[in-house]
Amino acid sequence: MNRPTFGYAVAALAAAASFAVPLMLDRSQLTIFILLGTAVIVTTGLSLLMGYAGQVSLGQGSFYAVGAYTAGLMAVHGLPTLLGLAAAPVLAAALAALVGVPLLRLRGHYLAFATLAVQLILLSLVGQFEFTGGDIGLRGIPQLGVGDATLIDPLAYAYVTLAAAALVLLVTRNLIKSRPGRGLRALASTEVAAESAGVPVGRYKLAVFSLSAAYAGLAGGIYAFYLGYISPGSFPVLLSVQFVVMAVVGGLGTVWGPVVGATLITLLVQALNSLGTMPGMPAYAPDVLSYAVYALLLILVLLFMPRGLLPSIGSRLEDRRAISPTRS
């Protein structure tokens, strides 16, 4: 089987599986499924940003929050919910474009701190303002719907999330294959080389930064409608770190890496959560376990599989395939 066909087969299989899986889940499992879907969406953008523009964002949670608050506020004020969901990625991208102009002049290490700072500032502002509900948050966000028909069933939300994730993956795949995508690849190797090859480095970086923010915004919108309640506490710095862990573990700059990374981390954290809440465990056990897992996965993958889980395993399989004909 050649590579493209193999890829399509895997994609078709994954699509079929993710379409079938929600039907088999109970309510709480559906919640996990939806959170996983939103994590895939955010991580796909972050992976693009880290893998192609070589920029680490520790503030992806801020765009997630902007999307959630945009959707939530619009819906609370009686605007059509679909409009809110559409505005969520737009506003997140607009904010990214705005802060990106000055911030993207910073090199890697500085940018990481700057995006973290942006998130902290945003959270504190959201906590101060009255119209955002302050520290208490925004309650009673209506359900997503068109006209009188609203989505109440978590199963419906699962499919909305699935559709959004599919859209994001498709856009990302097409982007990577496109001409600008190849320019971005040059950007990933070295900025100077890309610049001298005529790639408009600054504009591309800003575009990827905004796109990744749009993804996060979209995910945030879904999150707000599904839970119906958001507060500054829903978007801690640790959430941004979690997205970085998912992106790094899955493998940067690939289409499927974020899916693998987000799925693996989400399932692992869930498993540890149920372990940590077992009788006899101390109250802090769930937190401690998830901190330890994020940390260890991040460190071990970076040290021993720097390209991420998926590309590392993929190239190992390829090596085997390349070797086997000569052996036989």
Say whether 85 sits in a helix, a strand or coil. helix
Report how far residue 192's alpha carbon sits from residue 181's, in angstroms, rounded to the nearest whole number. 17
Binder to another protein among 13, 28, 108, 318 (CB under 8 A)? 108
Which residues between 120 and 149 bind another protein (CB under 8 A)? Answer: 120-121, 124, 127-128
Which helix or strand (DSSP H or E) is residue 159 part of? Answer: helix 154-177
Report how far residue 160's alpha carbon sits from residue 33's, in angstroms, rounded to the nearest whole number. 11
Q: Which CB sits closer to another protein, 9 or 292?
A: 292
Q: Cβ neighbours of residue 155 under 8 Å, at least 6 residues apart? A: 22, 23, 30
Q: How far is the CB of 120 from another protein (least distance, A)?
A: 6
Which residues between 198 and 257 bind another protein (CB under 8 A)? Answer: 237-238, 241, 244-245, 248
> Does 281 help bind another protein (rule: CB under 8 A)?
no
Stretch that binds another protein, among 16-24, 78-86, 100-108, 213-221 (CB under 8 A): 100-108
Q: Cβ neighbours of residue 275 under 8 Å, at least 6 residues apart? A: 281, 285, 289
Binder to another protein among 58, 74, 141, 162 (CB under 8 A)? 58
Binder to another protein among 13, 16, 288, 322 (CB under 8 A)? 288
Q: Which CB sits closer to another protein, 13 or 125?
A: 125
Report how far residue 155's alpha carbon sits from residue 101's, in angstroms, rounded to the nearest whole number. 40
Stretch that binds another protein, among 219-227, 271-279, 289-297, 314-322 (CB under 8 A): 289-297
Q: Which CB sits closer to another protein, 114 or 213?
A: 114
Q: Which CB sits closer to another protein, 105 or 316?
A: 105
Which among 191, 319, 314, 194 has a CA at the least distance from the CA of 255? 314
Tokens 């496109």 — which residue? 178
Q: Cβ neighbours of residue 53 under 8 Å, at least 6 residues apart? A: 184, 187, 188, 204, 205, 208, 209
Q: Which CB sits closer to another protein, 15 or 302?
A: 302
Q: How far is the CB of 19 from another protein (least distance, A)?
A: 34
> Does 306 help bind another protein (rule: CB under 8 A)?
yes
Q: What tokens were used for 151? A: 């989505």
The total of other beta-carbon atoms located within 10 Å of residue 272's CB is: 17
Which among 179, 205, 178, 180 has a CA at the least distance from the CA of 191? 205
**How many angstroms from the chain centroid is the CA of residue 303?**
23
Binder to another protein among 294, 309, 310, 311 (CB under 8 A)? 294
Q: Is the dihedral of CA 235, 288, 249, 187 positive or negative?
A: positive
> Does 109 help bind another protein (rule: CB under 8 A)?
yes
The total of other beta-carbon atoms located within 10 Å of residue 169's CB is: 20
Which residues between 181 and 200 bind another protein (CB under 8 A)? Answer: none
Binder to another protein among 35, 103, 230, 255 (CB under 8 A)? 103
Q: How far is the CB of 108 from another protein (least distance, A)?
A: 5
Q: How far is the CB of 306 from another protein (least distance, A)?
A: 6
Stretch that binds another protein, among 14-22, 66-74, 157-165, 298-306 (CB under 8 A): 298-306
Q: How far is the CB of 204 from another protein (least distance, A)?
A: 17
Report how far residue 73's alpha carbon sits from residue 53's, in angstroms, rounded to the nearest whole number. 32
Binding site for another protein (CB under 8 A): 54, 56, 58, 102-103, 105-110, 112-114, 116-118, 120-121, 124, 127-128, 237-238, 241, 244-245, 248, 284, 287-289, 291-292, 294-296, 298-299, 302-303, 306
